[in-house]
Every structure is written in C-alpha cells, then in structure tokens.
Amino acid sequence: MPPLDLSIGLGTSGLDDPETCTDTVAAALDAGYRHVDTAQMYDNEAAVGAGIAASDVERDDVVVATKVHPENLAPDDVRETARESLDRLGLDRVDLLYVHWPIRAYDPEATLPAFDDLRDAGVTDHVGVSNFTPDLLREAREILDAPIAAHQVECHPRFRQPELRALAAEFDHRLVGYSPLGRGEILDDPEVAAIAERNDCSPAVVALAWALDRGVAPIPKARGDHVRENLRALDIDLPESDLDAIDALDPGERQIDPEDAAWNR
C-alpha cells in the first residue's frame, strides 16, 4: 500500500453549505493542505469531492479520509455505504476509511472484517478507527488483518490525550486530532495567548504547532483567511519551554462528549 503521509489536515465537519464546502476544500488544497477529512455523518462528501476535483492539486497527492456512520457498521452496510461514499466523492478509492464511532451497529467481530474486505477490494488503502478507548483500540488490533493506520480523537492543549498518544507511538499509527482548537475555546485561553504573543503568532497556530510537535496530525475546521493562517503551524518552531508549558496546562473537559460514546459506558 502507498505510505500514509498525515500532516495538518482540513476538517470539514460543519461545512454544510455545498458551495462553501467545495470552495473551502479547493482553496485549502491550493494553499498547501494535502489531507482532507470528511465523513458520512457530515453529509458533505459530494461537496468535498467537488472541491478536490476543482483544485489544481493532483488526486494522488492528497490523503482523502472518510468515516462510516455508526448506524452503517453492520457488515453489509459497511461494504455498501463505503462504496456509496466513493460515488459521492467522485473517487475510485479513499486513502483512509474510519470506523467513526464504536457504537450503535458496531460489533467488532462482524464490523472490522468488513473493513479488511474493503481494503482488499481497493475501496480504501488504509483502515482507521475514531473515538475508541484504549481497550477497544487493542481489541480492534487483534481482530483486524489490516494494520490500524490512524486513530482519530479529540485532542488539543487542554485535552491532550497522553495515553492514546503513547499507544499511537507504541502501535505505530498516527493519532489524528479533531477539534484541535477546542471548539474555539483555545483561541481565548489566556495561557495559550501568552505563548502566542511570545512567538508572534496566533493562539490557533500555537495549538496546531504543539499538536504537530507531539506527533498528532490536527484537522482544524477553517474558512477564509484562517485556512491559510493555520498552515503557519508547519513552519513555526515553538521553544521546548513553551511546549512543556502547554503540556503542564490544567486539563479541561471534552468538547465532544455524546452520552453513548464508548468512554461513557
């Protein structure tokens, strides 16, 4: 399989207007992003695909990830709806296909082999999981034939996921961080703002640069000028003292915390 090169990506959750979504994806790719994340749950795969097609960037240079809805995780539904995702995206494959949440129709012994089947059939190059607990992650590794290429979870300076980051390093997969700005709360965080001022950048760039330095591939949502601004995180080297200061921040609460999430059971 082609190697999976995951750096900062564009998150598309909440990009509900098709024209805005398409324009944002195309602008992000033309600005330098090479990782685009969507999901069946976001109901925007067609608009994301249109943005990929509208960009001047070659398809093979872009990591395209989507996720199977938790209601579609019965084996036959996994196989059918993953192909429907390809049709909506206008692609013959995705680079990364995730189990979105291990809830509702998720049955590890039945669901995960269907993802292996899709990888064998060329529907996806890589298999990922999202919102798994450490125990569920270990279980999935035992069942899957395919290696887990990525685990996507909420991760930001106030919710740093140290255990899952350590497991990503141990198991040799990438941790992909959604809500890397804590749904905007990091932008108003006074301690992050002080670090940003010392480094002549925005709090968003600080949060994204911290993630990249700590081995997390962040997927911020952005529109307009913020799309390009977030890419500054690739070029800034925060001093180790500032990175350590972020690691020492008091932890906050999850921003995304459904009642039926695996960690609430």
Residue 11 lies in a domain: no
Q: At 152, which CATH number?
A: 3.20.20.100
Residue 175 lies in a domain: yes
- Spatial neighbors of 13 by CB under 8 A, at least 6 apart, are 39, 42, 178, 221
Residue 111 lies in a domain: yes
Domain that holds residue 91: 65-248
Residue 141 lies in a domain: yes
Number of domains making up the chain: 1
Report the predicted TM-score, pTM, of the whole model to 2 decimal places. Answer: 0.97
Task: Calculate the alpha carbon distances from 77 to 62, 73, 83, 84, 200 in Å.
Answer: 26, 6, 10, 10, 49
Residue 28 lies in a domain: no
| CA atoms of 9 and 6, how far apart (whole Å) | 8
Residue 19 lies in a domain: no
List the pLDDT tens digit at each of the 265 positions of the chain: 666 889 999 999 999 999 999 999 999 999 999 999 999 999 999 999 999 999 999 999 999 999 999 999 999 999 999 999 999 999 999 999 999 999 999 999 999 999 999 999 999 999 999 999 999 999 999 999 999 999 999 999 999 999 999 999 999 999 999 999 999 999 999 999 999 999 999 999 999 999 999 999 999 999 889 999 999 999 999 999 999 999 999 999 999 999 999 999 9
Residue 42 annotated to the active site: yes
Task: Output the CA angle 33-37-41, nearest 5 degrees.
Answer: 155
- Spatial neighbors of 12 by CB under 8 A, at least 6 apart, are 21, 24, 25, 36, 37, 38, 42, 44, 48, 221
Residue 101 lies in a domain: yes
**Residue-level pLDDT at 95:** 98
Give the count of beta carbons closer than 10 Å to the beta carbon of residue 258.
13
Q: Which amino acid is at 83?
A: R
Residue 185 lies in a domain: yes
The catalytically annotated residue of 42, 98, 106, 178 is 42
